[in-house]
Structure 1
Amino acid sequence: MRDRTISWAAALRDLKADRATRPITREERLRSTAGLRGSPPAALSAWRGVSGRRYVVVVHGFDQPDLVTAHPAVVLAVRRDAESRASPVAVRACETGDSGYLGWLAACAQLGAVEIHVHRLAEGQAERAAIARDLTGPVPAAGVSP
């Protein structure tokens, strides 16, 4: 086995460069959803907020527009680039039967959103609002506010 010398200065510089180019709020795909129950199994993903906390979401298309009729949730309207990287168009903390949700969703679709990511694990309204703020962070919401 050959000894290998690591340039720690170069390694730290590379880490800083990675942090500078990577968005603060970002999707982190889950490695495996195989074996989950459901027919078909739910498409799951996760988002990392500004705080570093991770939020698991269920991914829906725009063919299921009214996802907050029966249950409250934090909803992300998401667009994808040519390399399939996700970026949030807007984030909204929704209560059950949110009357402005469909209009918000239509505005997000006009701004390029193609998916709806739904997080339902928040305990209450205040926690949903805090999660929405954490996921919004310094990422521009493209003119649509939560």
Structure 2
Amino acid sequence: MKYIGITDHARLRVKQRTVLSTDDVMSLLYSSSYVNLGSKPGIQKAHLLIYSNIENAWFVVVRDVLNGDVITFLTEDYHVNLFGKISDVDKKEAYEKATRHSSQSNGGESKNINISLSFVDCYGAVKTKK
């Protein structure tokens, strides 16, 4: 599996532009649940179309082809304004891949759970463990 990193800038854009977590976005990328929209000639950046089932919306992940890092995260409208229309065929394929990914990952997805326990010790002092 090829390394996929994410820059601080891309993390910020994910938080600003979607309800998906960065882990959700990375999971879609690692499972190849995207459509490669290509890149401009001479520019080593791939534009990858993903679909959010939660928001019923498409997004474009811009990834550096040379080092594998995700460098930014665009809404569909933002991408259309900068680079042009996304075809309905590409949208349909991204939708199908995301839906397949979602149905495969349900039940097997791990979550972090934080638990805090409070108790009284033998001296009467309240203690908390995390």
Tell me the TM-score range normalised by the shorter chain.
under 0.3
The TM-score, its normalising length taken from structure 1, stands at 0.24
Bigger Cα Rg: 2
The answer to which structure, 1 or 2, has the higher relative contact order (CA under 8 A, 6+ apart) is 1
TM-score, normalised on structure 2?
A: 0.26
Q: Structure 1 or 2: larger helix share? A: 2
